[in-house]
Structure 1
Amino acid sequence: MAKDVIKAFGQGETVVRALDNVSVEIKTGEFFTLLGPSGCGKTTLLRLIAGFEMPSSGQILIDGQDVTGQPPNQRAVNTVFQSYALFPHLSVAENIGFGLKMKGVAKAEIDSTVKEMLALVKLEAMAGRKTSQLSGGQQQRVALARALAPRPKVLLLDEPLSALDLKLRKEMQVELKRLQTETGITFVFVTHDQEEALTMSDRIAVMSAGRIQQLGAPREIYTKPRNRFVASFIGETNFLNATAVAGGGKLASGQVIAADTAGKSGPVTLAVRPEHVTITAADEAGAIPAEVLGSVYFGTDMNYQLALPDGSEIEACVQSGVSGEASIAKGAKVGIRFAPGSVLLLED
């Protein structure tokens, strides 16, 4: 899809590389997500695939064909924008069929395709309504149906759920994955929302500073982050400064935390997810002593902020019990353990 792509803006000392030698292959029929903070280059890459921008160097390939110099209307792609860009003076059905009409498709084929798309997005009853009479979620479905109607090889989605409220956003995450599975079309989805990426994607490319930091399946990205940026951007993570010793990392207070530090020496950074931290009794053998600094109740779980003997702080996520047990009081002395194999050694 992208090979050795560089995209630079500006000249001389003011030049900014939005994409810095990016190469990525997106598989046919997969739900692929470009994930990262604002300014990481994800939308720039999407625009290059769409043909709205040209790379400073490198190639854009679709279905094995070099389309780098082709304009957007000659590429087998369609784009769903954050704003939906629907025509308010047209009905739902007319919006869906608009692209086909512009391509000169016969009316009978347009009508058949529009009917098929309305059924796909479950809006058959809304066919005659103006888009201004629809809810945000319904407008989103119209935009998707319009983009899918020409049956593109690749559908590009530029943060299309960002304008929706939380409940509707979660519903549309399920709908998007369903649509991608049913159509078999390659989806390339751009978002800064880690939950969206983890929920829908077959694979995720985590981006920062114009480069892909890690590429892999959601579970791999979450459980085995390659570096500190990925670990901090995907979910919550505790970072501990330690010194590599045989079998683990030694904290400043002397406790050794089991981790794979083979071949490492000197200072290292250890990472562990809050859900892999277990709170025990303070005098439990082998537990690391800690003090409770505070807690936050999230309904499904309770998050505890804890201080270790060396002054470092970590967070533990404890699932809420059925009977709603009282939280551990601030200032309480406790012990903590880490789930076997859960502590990772990170690159900076």
Structure 2
Amino acid sequence: MSSPVPAVEARSVVKLFGQGNAAVRALDEVSVAVAAGEFFTLLGPSGCGKTTLLRCIAGFETPTDGAILLGGRDITAEPPNRRRVNTVFQSYALFPHLTVRENVSFGLEMLGRPRAEIRDTTDRMLALVQLDAMADRRPDALSGGQQQRVALARALAPAPEVLLLDEPLSALDLKLRKEMQAELKRLQHETGITFVFVTHDQEEALAMSDRIGVMSGGRLLQVGSPRDIYDRPATRFVADFIGETNVLSGMAEGAVARLPTGETLALPAACSGPVTLAVRPEQLRLAPPWEDGALRATVTGATYLGTDSRLRLRLADGTEMVARIPSVPGGESVPAPGTEVGLAPVRGAVQVLAE
């Protein structure tokens, strides 16, 4: 049985800006396939290549090498207007002189759709983004979140095969951004359209995505579900970029790694030689310093955060560690600075990283 054709696919895409020795390699042999109906997020810091890849899919940039496919068809050389792809930008790019309804129907009119279809589709899109009561307002009479919904409705109206979203929530305040995260996920679920979303916000990516592709330096470092990316980072960069993590060096001896302190940590699989290990702060528990499998550490500081406390600790060799200890009503307070404690990773918490 053949595999389903991806909604959109990049095959060994290279993008150079400039020429000769001064050329900048914005994309370096990037290959990724996004399934139909998937919410896929490209995540990484500024300058990592995620927006360049999005622009190659949209047709605003042409790859120097490699191919872009839409539904299995090579569209690398096709202009943007020939692609069944729409883009929602960070700046909403609404027409200020048009009403909400006119903004949403604009794309359908440009496609020459029948008037009855334009009216029905526009009404359906306005209801989908819950703005039917504001159909006759102009953009300057709307909040930032409402303008973002208009931009989404306008992009969704022509029923694109893929919707590209270039950091569309970055201009919103924190509370509204979280509301729009849930709204975007709802819209994607209800329409069934493939979303390719670009962001530098790790929490945003974890909250909304079916899968995440982490990028750095023009390369795609790891692709996986939010849980895979967080719990099993493939490289040190991914471990550091996605949330907070403790990184340790050791020497693997079968199923354990020996640290510079002489203590050992259990590994997920047997290996040998020098290893770099990652342990998330919330996957460490406090234990008596003498407990088997616990690392001896000294508390150097603590910050109360409501749901938990963030402890800063130092191992015997000077390595700095962080642990997140859940708050329990009526429970014991966190150890004071200078207290010696044991740090015990929960089962399966220690991950081996590729450099």
TM-score range, shorter chain: over 0.9
Query: TM-score by structure 2 length?
Result: 0.95
2:38 equivalent to 1:30: yes
Within a 5 Å distance, the mapping from 1:108-257 to structure 2 comes to: 108-257=116-265
Instruction: Give the corresponding residue for 1:7.
Output: 15
Contact 1:251–1:310 (Cα < 8 Å) also in 2: no
For the 8 Å contact 1:249–1:261, the answer to whether it is kept is no
Cα distance in structure 2, aligned partners of 1:189 and 1:213: 17
How far off is 1:74 after superposition?
A: 0.7
**1:291 and 1:307 in contact (8 A); partners too:** yes
Query: Contact 1:80 / 1:143 at 8 angstroms: preserved in 2?
Result: yes
Change (3 A) 1:249 1:285: closer
Count, aligned residues: 347
Aligned to 1:51: 59
Residue 217 of structure 1, CA deviation: 1.0
Q: Does structure 1 retain, via aligned residues, the 8 Å contact 2:312–2:322?
A: yes
TM-score (norm 1): 0.97
Cα offset, 1:286, TM superposition: 4.6
1:300 aligned partner: 307
Cα contact 1:290–1:309 (8 A) shared by 2:
yes
Unaligned runs of 5+ in 2: 1-8
2:334 to 302, 327, 332: 327
In 2, the alpha carbon distance for the partners of 1:323 and 1:54 equals: 61
Instruction: Say if 2:279 is the partner of 1:272.
Output: yes
2:353 pairs with 1:343: no
Unmatched tracts of structure 1, length 5 or more: none
AA aligned to 1:46 is L
Deviation at 1:264, TM superposition (A): 1.8
Q: 1:290 pairs with 280, 285, 297, which one? A: 297
Aligned partner of residue 344 in structure 2, secondary structure: strand
Three-state SS of the structure 1 residue aligned to 2:347 is coil
Aligned CA-pair RMSD: 1.2
Query: How many angstroms apart in 1 are the aligned matches of 2:94 and 2:336?
Result: 54
Between stretches 28-37 and 243-252, larger displacement belongs to: 243-252
Give, in angstroms, the shift of residue 262 of structure 1: 2.3
Measure the CA separation in 2 of the matches of 1:286 and 1:217: 30
Cα displacement (A) at 1:324: 6.7
Secondary structure (helix, strand or coil) at the match of 2:34 reads coil
When structure 1 is superposed on structure 2, of 301-310 and 242-251 the one drifting more is 242-251
Which residue in the other structure is 2:322 paired with?
Answer: 315
Determine the C-alpha separation between the residues in 2 that align with 1:247 and 1:4. 37
Residue equivalent to 2:106: 98
Look up the SS of the partner of 1:188 in the other structure.
strand
C-alpha contact 1:156 1:188 (8 A) present in aligned 2: yes
For residue 250 of structure 1, what is the amino acid of its counterpart? R
Contact 2:306 2:327 (8 Å CA) reproduced: yes
Secondary structure in structure 2 of the residue aligned to 1:254:
coil
User: Could you tell me whether the CA contact under 8 Å between 1:92 and 1:130 is conserved in 2?
Assistant: yes
Shift of 1:283: 4.2
Shift of 1:258: 1.1
How many percent of aligned residue pairs carry the same amino acid? Answer: 62
TM-superposition CA deviations, 1:191-245 (whole Å, max 9, x none): 0111111111111111111111001111111111111111111111100111122
1:73 is aligned to 81
Question: Aligned equivalents of 1:253 and 1:3: distance in 2?
Answer: 46
